[in-house]
Chain A
Amino acid sequence: MTSAEPERLGGVVRALLSHYWRHPWQAVFLLAGLVAGVALWSAVQIINSHARASYAEADFVLGAQATHWIRSRSGDGIAQADYIALRRAGFRQVFPVVQARVSTADNAPLAIIATDLLALPASMAGEGGDALGDANLDWLAFVQPPYQAWFPAAMADELGVAEGEQLVLRDGRALPPALIAAREQQGRQIFMDVGAALSLLGRDTFTALAVGPISPDTAARLAAALPADLMLEANQQRLDLTQLTASLHTQLTAMSLLSFAVGLFIVFNAVRFSLWYRRPTLRTLRLMGVSVRALTLAIVAETLVWSALGSVLGLLAGLGISHALLPSVSASLQNLYGAVVGADLLLDPLTVAIAWGMTLIGLAFALAWPLLLQLRGPVLPGGSASAGVLADARARRVLLIGAGVLALAAVGVYWQMASVIEGFVLLGLVLFAAAWALPQVLASAHRLLGRVLAGAPLVQRWIVSDGWAQLPALRTAMMALLLALTANLGVETLVGSFRTALAGWLDQRIGADIYVNSARLDTRGFVADPANAGWLATGHARTGVTIRWQGRPTKVYGLDTTTPDTRALPLAQSAPDALARWAGGERLILANEQAHYLGGLRLGQTVTLLTDGGPADYTVAGFFHDYGNPYYQFYLPREALARGWRDVSSTGLALWLKPGVSAETAEAALVAAGVKPGEWFAQGDIKRLSMKIFDRTFAMTAAMNTLTLLVAGAALLTALLAILHERLPEFAQWRALGVTRRELLRVIAVPLALFVTLTWLAAIPLGALLSWLLIYDLNVMSFGWSMPMLWSPLPALKLGLLSAGIVALVLLIVLSQLTRKLPQAMAQLGSTQ
C-alpha cells in the first residue's frame, strides 16, 4: 500500500458509508438485525450469569452466610430454649429461621421467611456487612409490634398490597403492615421478624437454625453441643442448585442462540441489499483504480463500525429485556428448584466482549460471502435480471447441498447423543438443515405453480413469474420465518403435552379430598382416632427421610400400602405385579423417573441406600412419574422405611372423606386437633396451585417464543422494504404503463403469500419433529420426565393466523411506502438507469 492509500482508504470508506445517508432505512434494518440478535442473546446471558451468581449466594440466608443448618431429626422444629442455650454457650454463628407457607384469602400460596436481624452473624462483626447498617431499614419498627412484612415489589403488585396494608390470610389472620422492600436472597418470600412469624403462625419453634461461617473445629464442637434431637448438616444448596439448574440454563442459552441466528438473518438481508445497492459505487471506485484490497479494507472498517454500534445498542436492549424477563425466570427457578434469584442485574465485561465478537463474526460472515461474489466478478458485470436469477439458483443449490450435509450430521449426532448440549446441537442441525433446504423447496413449488398456471390469464402468469424476482430477496427472510415458526410450534407442543400429562397425573395422584401438612399434628394418631371415624373414610400418613444418593439430596418416602392412592399408584414402567409385590414386603423399592433417566437406574436393578444401620440393598420394581421434582425420590412401604431409618419425619397426611361429608366437618376436626388454617389444602386447590406454578414456570418459554416471532416478522419487513427500494423504478415504470396500485400490491402480495404459506406448511411437520426430539430426548435428558407427545393442529392454525397478520401488517407498511415514494420514482423515470 502506498503512502497515499490511507487517505484514499478514508475516502473509500466515506464513499461506502455515504450510502446509508441516502438510504437510512437500510441502516435501520442492519442495526435492527444486530440489535435483535444481540439483545435476546445477551438478555439470556445476563439472566444466566445472574442466576449462577445467585446460586453462589445460596448459602446466604437473608444476607447472612449459612454454611450449615441445624434441623430437628423428628421434624418437630427447634425449641427456642435450645437456640438460646447454643447462643449462651458462645455459638453466635447460629441464628433462627422460620419458614412457612400460608394462603391468602383467595387461596394463593404465600411463602414466609423470618429471622432475628439482631442475631445475624454479620451484625456482630461491627464492620461491613452489618445487618443493621442498611440505611433503608428502620429496624426498630421491624423488630417490635406491630412489626413489618416485607413484600418484594413484584409480589406486592401481584397481591395488590400497598405499603402499610395488612394482608389478610384465608383464616382471617393478618400479616404485619406491609413494607415494599426485600433483603438479599429473599426471593418470592415475605420477610418478617421471627417474633412476628411465630405469633402469626401460632408456633413456638423455629423451622431450623442457620449457621454462619465456622471453622471445622467449632463445627465439631457445635455438633457435640446439640441436644439429641438436633443435627448439624452442611449447607449444600449452592452445589445442588448449580447441578440441578444446569439443564434449564442450557435450554435458555439454546433459545437465545436461536434468536441470535434469526437476528443474523436480518443482518444478512440488510448487508446483501446494502451491497447490491452499492454495486454502482463499487464499480465506479474500482474503475477509478481503487484496489480490491483497499475496498476489502474499507468494508472491514464498515463492519467494525456496525458491529460496535450493534453490540452497544443490543446490549442495552438486552439489559432492558433481561429486566423484563427476570421475574418469569426467577419464578421458574424458584418453582422448579427452590432457587432464589435476586433482582439486581449486572452486565459483565465478558458478556460485552462475547457479544461484540459474535456480531463481528456474524457480520463478517454476512458481509464476506456477498462481498466475495461481488469482488470476484468482472468489473463490469452483465447486470441483467437473468444473471440475478442464475446467481439465485446457484445459491439455492449450494444451500441445498449444505442442508444435506447438516441433515447427515444430525443423523450422526442423534445416534451418539448423550448430553443436553449435544441434544441442542442436534436441534440446531435439524433446524438449519430445514432452513437451508427451504429456498429450493420454495423454488420448486413455485416452478410447479408456474406449470399449473401455464394456460392461465396473463395477469396470473405475470404475478407468478414475478415471484422469481422476489425469491432471492425473500429467501433469507423465509428461512428466518421457518426457524421462528418451527421453534414456536415445537415448544408449543412440548408445553401443551407437558400440561396435559401433568393435569392427568395430578388427577390420578391427588385423589384424596384434603391434604394436611402440619408439624403439630400426630398424623397416625389422628387417622386412628375413633372420634374421626364418623367422617373419615381413609387417611394416609406419609413419612420420609432425606438422604443423599448419587451426590444429590434424595427423599425416601414411607407409604401406607393399603390406601387408595398407593394401590392405584400410576407407574411409568414396572415389573409384572410390581405394586402388590412391593407392598408384600419383598425388599422392593419404587423410584421416580428422574432416578431412571438421570440416575441411570434400571428396572430390576439393585439400589443401595445408606440407612441408619449401614448400606441396604433394594430391588427396583417400578418407576413412577414425578413431574416438577428436580430431586431423586424413592418409595418404600412405611414399615420398611421405619426399619431402615430411626428418625423418620411426618411428611403430610391425605384424608378421604366419607360420601356426603362436607369439608367443613373435616376442617373443624383438624382445627380441634391443633392444625392451623393454611396448613391444609383441599384437592381442587392443590391442582389449581400446581397448574398455576406450571404456567408461571413456562412463562419464560412463552415470552421467548413471542420475541423470536417478532424478530422473524422484522426480518420479513426488512426483506419486503428492500424489495420495494430495489424495484421502485421498475414499479414506477409499471405504474406509468397503467398498472394500478392495487394490481401492483397484488404482484407483491401474492408471491409473498405463497412463500409464507409454503414456509408455514413446512414448519408444521418440522415443528412436530422438533417437539418429538424435545419431548422424547431433550426433556428426558434435562429433567428426567417422560410423557406422551400430544400433537394438535390448533397451535399451527394460531401461528398461521398470526403469520397472516404479520404479513398483512408488513404489506400495509409496504403499501404506505409505495404510495409515498411512487410519485417521486415516476418523476425520476428515465433519469436513472
Chain B
Amino acid sequence: MKAVFLLLMALLVGPAAAQGDPYQVLRSTGDGYASVVPGRPFDFPADHLPHPDYRIEWWYLTANLKDDAGRHWGLQWTLFRQAMSPATDTEGWDSNQIWMAHAAITTPDGHRHEQRFARGGVGQAEVRREDGAFAAWLDDWSLSGDGAAMLPGRLRFTVGEAVIDVQLASDTPPVLQGKGGYSQKSAQGQASYYYSQPHIAVSGSVTVDGKPTTLTGTGWLDREWSSQPLADNQQGWDWFSLHLADGHALMVYRLRHDDGKHWLSGSWVAPDGSARTLGADEIELTVLDTRRVRTPSSANPEATRDLPLSWRVSLPGLKREWTVRALIDDQWMGGRFPYWEGVVLVDEGASGVGYLELTGYGR
C-alpha cells in the first residue's frame, strides 16, 4: 500500500480538490475505469506490465541493506502510473497516461529523496518489454529485467547526487495478497489487485557524495492496481513490510477509520514463498511512541508533525510479537505528495529489518 496512491488520486480533479480534502476525491466511484473484482486469474510475466484500463498502478521496491561495517542502509524506488481519463490510451502526446516516480535512500548519515514526473505515450516514461525484456523507466531511472519477468533484474536510479545500481534476484514465486490477489480495502468493497515479491536478494553499489559503497541485503517488491481504492471514512494508513531474521516475511497494514475501527489486513510469508493471508482478528498494531519529526515542505520549511515511529506488532494466533522502531526519525518524503516512509528495525534489529509507511498524519 502506498501513500502516494491516495495523493496521486487528488490529481484527478486538479489543485482545488488537492488543496482541500484529497480524500474526498477518493470517494469518487471510478466510473468508466475497469473495476476490481474477486477471482481474477493472474498471469505472469504479463501482469508485470501496465493495466491501463485501471486508474492507478504502481511498481514499488524497497530494500534493507548493510555495508561491510554492518551499518543499515535503505532504498525505496516507486513508479506510479495514472490514467487521467477512462478513455483507451493512445500513443503520442495525446496519451492519457502520466507517470510519477519517487526515490529515496537512507544512509548511515541520513535520508534523501527525489520525485519525478513524466508524460506517457512519448517514451520518456514507460513500462513495457524492450527486446523481449521487462523494462520500466522514467528518464534515467530504470528497473530492467534480464528477461520478460521483473526479476532477476537491475535497478538503477539517482537521488540528487547519489547513484544507486543494484542487482535483484529471487527464487520464490510472487505472493498474491488478499484472496488470490484481490485485496479488499474496506467493508464497502473498495479493493485493488495486489501481489508482492517479499524475498529478493539485493546486491550492488551505492555512490554517495562521490564515495562508492558495496551493499547487500533483502528487498521487497509490491505491485498494485486499482480504480477505486478507498472508502469514505478512511483517513490514511500504516503499512509494514518486514524481513524477519528467521527467513519469514510479514506484511501488515491498517487503514485508519474516522471511528477508530480500523481496517487491518496482512500476510505471513514462509521462507519458501508460501503465504497465509492474515485477517483483521489475527493482527494487533499498537503505537508505543510518537515522535515529533521535521517534515519540511516548500510552503513551510520549518514544519513538524507527530508521527508514530515506534510500534508493537502482534500476531496472537501465531503467538508472535515484535517491537518495530524507525531507524532514524527523519525519513520524510517531502515531495509534492508528502508522507513518511523509511527503514525500521524489528526488536532493535535482532529479529529483522523492514520498511514502514505512514500516511494521512497531521493534515
Contact = CB atoms under 8 A, between A and B. Distances in A.
A118 B117 contact: yes
Interface stretch (A99-107, A141-149, A374-382): A141-149
Contacts of A806: none
Interface string A746-766: 000000000000000000000
A130 interface: yes
Interface in B1-59: 11-12, 14-16, 19
B15 A90 contact: no
A89 B141 CA distance: 9
B115 A199 contact: no
A88 B137 contact: yes
Nearest to B99: A118
Contacts of B271: none
A615 interface: no
B85 interface: yes
A128 interface: yes
B140 A87 contact: yes
Contact of B94 (A87, A92, A116, A144): A144
Contacts, number: 85
A84 B124 contact: yes
A194 B93 contact: yes
A600 to B, nearest CB: 48
Contacts of A123: 117
A127 B298 contact: yes
Contact of B93 (A88, A89, A128, A193): A193
Contacts of B334: 126-127
Nearest to A127: B298
A143 B98 contact: yes
A119 B100 CA distance: 11
- Max chain A Cβ within 10 angstroms of own Cβ: one of B115, B122, B298, B335: B122
Given A138-B15, A144-B96, A124 B115 contact: yes
A199 B92 CA distance: 10
Contact of B92 (A84, A130, A143, A195): A195
B285 interface: no
Interface string A191-204: 00111101100000
A134 B335 CA distance: 15
Contact of A144 (B15, B16, B85, B140): B85
Contacts of B19: 135
Interface string A66-101: 000000000000001100100111101000000000
A92 B159 CA distance: 13
A23 to B, nearest CB: 56
A140 interface: yes
B298 A87 contact: no
A92 B124 CA distance: 10
A145 B92 CA distance: 12
B166 to A, nearest CB: 17
A137 interface: yes
Nearest to A131: B117
Contacts of A138: 14-16
Contacts of A198: 93
B139 interface: yes
Contacts of A124: 114-117
B93 to A, nearest CB: 3
Contacts of A81: 123
Contacts of B297: 127
Contacts of A145: 94
Interface residues of A, number: 36
B328 interface: no
Contacts of B119: 116, 118-119, 143, 195
A389 B187 CA distance: 103
Nearest to B15: A135
A88 B141 CA distance: 8
Interface in B120-136: 122-124
A199 B93 CA distance: 9
A118 B14 contact: no
- Max chain B Cβ within 10 angstroms of own Cβ: one of A135, A140, A194, A196: A140
A132 interface: yes
Contacts of B137: 88
B140 A118 contact: no
Nearest to A116: B119
Interface residues of B, number: 33
Contacts of A88: 123-124, 137, 139-140
B336 interface: yes
B298 A128 contact: yes
A465 B336 CA distance: 82
Given A124-B114, A195-B94, A87 B12 contact: no
B127 to A, nearest CB: 14
A137 B15 contact: yes
Nearest to A194: B93
A11 interface: no
A140 B55 CA distance: 14
Given A92-B139, A140-B84, A144-B85, A133 B298 contact: yes
B18 to A, nearest CB: 9
A87 B117 contact: no
A160 B139 CA distance: 41
B244 interface: no
A181 to B, nearest CB: 13
A658 B37 CA distance: 72
A306 B332 CA distance: 58
Contacts of B93: 193-196, 198-199
Contact of A118 (B15, B16, B98, B114): B98
Contacts of B118: 118-119
A126 B336 contact: yes
Interface string B241-283: 0000000000000000000000000000000000000000000
A187 B23 CA distance: 38
Contact of B84 (A87, A89, A132, A144): A144
A130 B297 CA distance: 12
Given A88-B139, A92-B139, A140-B11, A199 B94 contact: yes
Contacts of A119: 117-119, 124
Contacts of B296: 127
A691 to B, nearest CB: 38
Given A126-B334, A135-B19, A138-B15, A87 B124 contact: yes
A130 B158 CA distance: 19
Contacts of B84: 140, 143-144
Contacts of B140: 87-90, 92
A133 B336 contact: yes
Contacts of A84: 122-124
Nearest to A118: B117
A356 B114 CA distance: 49
A196 B14 CA distance: 19
Contacts of A118: 98, 117-119
B344 to A, nearest CB: 24
Contact of B115 (A126, A140, A143, A196): A126
A130 B98 CA distance: 17
A143 B12 CA distance: 12
Contacts of A87: 124, 139-140
A370 to B, nearest CB: 58
Given A135-B19, A138-B14, 18 more contacts: A92-B116, A92-B139, A92-B140, A118-B118, A119-B117, A119-B118, A119-B124, A127-B297, A127-B298, A132-B117, A132-B336, A134-B15, A136-B15, A140-B11, A143-B98, A144-B85, A144-B94, A193-B93
Closest 5 CB pairs of A and B: A195-B93, A90-B140, A138-B14, A128-B298, A126-B335
Interface of A: 80-81, 84, 87-90, 92, 116, 118-119, 123-124, 126-128, 130, 132-141, 143-145, 193-196, 198-199
9 contacts: A119-B124, A124-B117, A132-B117, A137-B15, A139-B14, A144-B96, A195-B93, A196-B93, A199-B93
Interface of B: 11-12, 14-16, 19, 84-85, 92-94, 96, 98, 113-119, 122-124, 137, 139-140, 158, 296-298, 334-336
